[in-house]
Every structure is written in structure tokens, then in C-alpha cells.
């Protein structure tokens, strides 16, 4: 039920989590202290007769009826100026199966100005438009340059457009090209190579974001996050292996070892950087452990992690023994050299003394 006493329609995902709902706990919202100063215009958010209040109620209705299956929104009964959204990363992108949380705040003069948007980054930057400090750069929010038709239009723009833009334009197939200047100059093959390397980094950071979301889920989304990763855990781990082994380009795994894009051939091995392999070797065991604790059934992946750890331990011991052997050989050789020098020096002293005695006797 919204502040006007109207029943909110139940828009639900397969796991039973409503895509839109009104909640009460806003305690961990990024903008919870905004619009609450003594000199603020906060009355516009509590006065049902105000234009701002009416416009926000319209936004609620638009979201209730039109949210896509992969975007979830929570609004607050006592703070209609705040909103939180969680977006599912789209198939065919390095963000696939990830969950990305955004906190929004309506300004007192809404819709004259767009809402403020903060990305819950956990200190990670996995997109040119999403900064580690939570800043979101998007033309529709007037936080980035763009043509007039791409900017916020008080008469037409909506929060739904903002959320769909974040999913489709920001968390896209090739985020490397979101950076101004990338791909502008000639040299397509080099740009594509750089884009693939960037997507590797993005996927590794997306996996880390999954861990953070499970360990410290944003309030009112705990059930969604837990259910989502229980359902998608196996697919995510299969994708990790497919990308690390070079069977599929990062972002294009579709569940049968093949690619979801015609531009990504699965008939030949894809080049995988050492940096990506190292990153995945570190994050993969954490994913398995965290997914297991979350209740996912992971089949052979738990055993894979155990075998990988044994192999890594054996390799480490072998490397240590090799270094120790090299060190022992070096020390032995050094001792031999020093011993030889000492022997020669002693012989030299004895010979010199004998000669001196001969000269004196003579």
C-alpha cells in the first residue's frame, strides 16, 4: 500500500520477490540524511497537495506497471524522496548474472532536475560511467555531456528511463567503449583487443561484487540476492571456467560451453590474459565457498576447488624445494670458492716465510 492508501500491484519474479514494493527501513540508504536539514524543502515530500509529491506518486505507478523482469525497486513509505533499485546484469555482457544496486534521491524541485543517483560500488570500478566512490555519469542525469535529446527533460523523463539506461547503455556488451575517445581513431583490431582485456577485468570485478552483495546485502533486498545466487550459482561458476579455459569470450557463455554471440567463436581457443587467469584463481574459491554457504548445490565445483588447492600447494612446495636446492648449491659453491682462496692465501704466506728464512740464513 502506498502513502495514498492505494494497493500496490504485485509484480513478481519467479522466486516470488516483488519487482516493486513499498518498505519502511531506509537506514542504510546513501541519501538518508539528504533533504532533512532545518532549512530544507522537505515539506514537499510529505504534503500530498504539493506538485513534487504528486509527481513522485506518478513515478511509483509507472514503475509498478512497467518494470522489466530484471530490475527491482523499493520505495519508502516515510521517505518518498528516496528509492533503491537492483539491476540484474544482462545476458551477453561481462555483467551477466551480477546484481548492481543504486540509491536514488529526488530533489525538492523534482522534476525540474533529475534525481541524484549513487552506485553501491564496494570500492570497485567496473565501468567507465560508474566510479569507485559511487558517482554515476549519465547524460540523462545531467552528470555527463550529451546531446539535448539525451539530457533530462522535466516534461518527459522518468526514473524508469534512468534505470533502463543504466542497464542497457552503461552495463552493456562492450563497456570499454563507454570511455570517450575509445574506438574513435583507426585501428579496429587494437580497440577490440583492448575491449576484450577490459571485459576480463570487468567480469572479475563483477564476481567480487557478487561476493560483497551476498556478504553485505542492501536492506530490503536480502531475499532477492540470496535466491538469485542460489539459482544462478552453477551457471556463474561454469562461465568462470569457460572464460578461464579460453573456450568462450568473456560475457558470452550461454550454458552449454558455447557462445551467445555470433562474433565469439567457440570452435577455437580464445586468448586469455595471465592477469585474468590469476584474478579468477583468487576469486573462484571464494565464489564456491560463499555460494555454498548461501545454500547453492554446486556439484563437482567444491571438489574442483579442493583439487586446485592441493595442486597449488604441491606446486608451492616444489617451488620452495627448488629454491632451497638452488640456495644450497650456491652456498656450497661459495664455500668452495672461499675455501680455495683461503687455501691459496695460506700457501702464499707459508711460501713467503720460507723464502725469507732462506735469505736470512744465506
> Closest Cα to residue 77, out of 12, 17, 1?
1
What is the fold, at CATH topology level, of the domain defined by 20-176+188-253+271-298? Ubiquitin Conjugating Enzyme (3.10.110)
Could you give the residue ranges of the DSSP H alpha helices within the chain?
A: 51-66, 159-165, 188-215, 222-244, 274-293, 301-361
Q: Look up the pTM and report it.
A: 0.81
Q: Which position has the higher pLDDT, 303 or 350? A: 303
Question: Contacts for 46-49 with beta carbons within 8 Å, 24 or more apart?
Answer: 46/80, 48/3, 48/4
Residues in the chain, how many? Answer: 362
Which residue bears the cell 515530500?
A: 45
Domain borders along the chain are: 20-176+188-253+271-298
Ramachandran category for residue 97: left, alpha or beta (phi over 0 → left; psi -120 to 50 → alpha): left
What's the average model confidence in pLDDT over 95-99? 98
Q: Alpha carbon 124 to chain centroid distance?
A: 6
User: At residue 87, does pLDDT exceed 80?
Assistant: yes
C-alpha cell at 252: 558470452
Which of the four pLDDT bands, split at 50, 70 and 90, describes residue 8?
Answer: very low
What's the average model confidence in pLDDT over 298-318? 72
Which residue bears the cell 732462506?
A: 358
The verdict on whether 44 is a catalytic residue reads: no
From the candidates 44, 137, 207, 240, which is the catalytic residue?
Answer: 137
Which of the four pLDDT bands, split at 50, 70 and 90, describes residue 316?
Answer: low
Provide CB contacts within 8 A for 39, sequence distance 6+.
none
Amino acid at each position: 500500500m502506498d502513502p495514498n492508501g492505494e494497493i500496490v500491484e504485485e509484480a513478481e519474479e519467479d522466486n516470488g520477490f516483488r519487482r516493486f514494493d513499498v518498505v519502511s527501513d531506509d537506514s542504510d540508504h546513501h541519501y538518508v540524511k539528504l533533504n532533512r536539514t532545518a532549512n530544507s524543502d522537505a515539506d514537499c515530500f510529505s504534503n500530498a497537495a504539493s506538485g513534487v509529491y504528486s509527481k513522485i506518486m506518478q513515478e511509483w505507478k509507472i514503475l509498478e506497471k512497467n518494470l522489466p523482469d530484471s530490475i527491482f525497486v523499493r520505495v519508502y513509505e516515510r521517505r518518498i524522496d528516496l528509492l533503491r533499485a537492483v539491476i540484474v546484469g544482462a545476458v551477453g555482457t561481462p555483467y551477466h548474472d551480477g546484481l548492481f544496486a543504486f540509491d536514488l534521491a529526488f530533489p525538492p524541485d523534482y522534476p525540474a532536475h533529475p534525481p541524484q543517483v549513487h552506485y553501491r560500488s564496494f570500492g570497485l570500478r567496473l565501468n567507465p560511467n560508474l566510479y569507485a566512490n559511487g558517482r554515476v555519469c549519465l547524460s540523462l542525469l545531467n552528470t555527463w555531456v550529451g546531446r539535448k535529446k539525451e539530457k533530462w527533460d522535466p516534461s518527459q523523463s522518468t526514473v524508469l528511463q534512468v534505470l533502463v539506461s543504466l542497464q542497457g547503455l552503461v552495463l552493456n556488451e562492450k563497456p570499454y567503449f563507454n570511455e570517450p575517445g575509445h574506438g574513435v581513431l583507426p585501428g579496429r583490431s587494437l580497440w577490440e583487443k583492448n575491449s576484450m582485456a577490459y571485459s576480463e577485468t570487468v567480469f572479475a570485478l563483477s564476481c567480487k561484487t557478487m561476493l560483497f552483495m551476498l556478504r553485505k546485502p542492501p536492506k530490503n533486498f536480502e531475499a532477492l540476492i540470496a535466491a538469485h545466487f542460489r539459482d544462478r550459482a552453477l551457471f556463474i561458476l561454469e562461465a568462470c571456467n569457460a572464460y578461464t579455459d579460453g573456450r568462450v569470450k568473456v560475457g558470452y557463455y550461454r550454458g552449454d560451453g558455447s557462445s551467445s554471440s555470433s562474433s565469439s567463436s567457440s570452435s577455437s581457443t580464445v586468448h586469455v590474459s595471465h592477469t585474468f587467469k590469476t584474478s579468477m584463481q583468487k576469486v573462484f574459491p571464494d565464489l564456491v565457498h560463499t555460494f555454498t554457504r548461501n545454500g547453492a548445490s554446486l556439484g563437482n565445483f567444491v571438489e574442483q576447488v579442493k583439487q586446485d588447492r592441493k595442486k597449488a600447494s604441491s606446486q608451492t612446495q616444489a617451488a620452495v624445494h627448488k629454491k632451497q636446492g638452488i640456495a644450497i648449491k650456491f652456498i656450497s659453491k661459495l664455500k668452495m670458492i672461499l675455501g680455495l682462496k683461503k687455501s691459496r692465501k695460506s700457501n702464499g704466506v707459508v711460501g713467503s716465510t720460507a723464502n725469507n728464512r732462506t735469505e736470512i740464513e744465506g
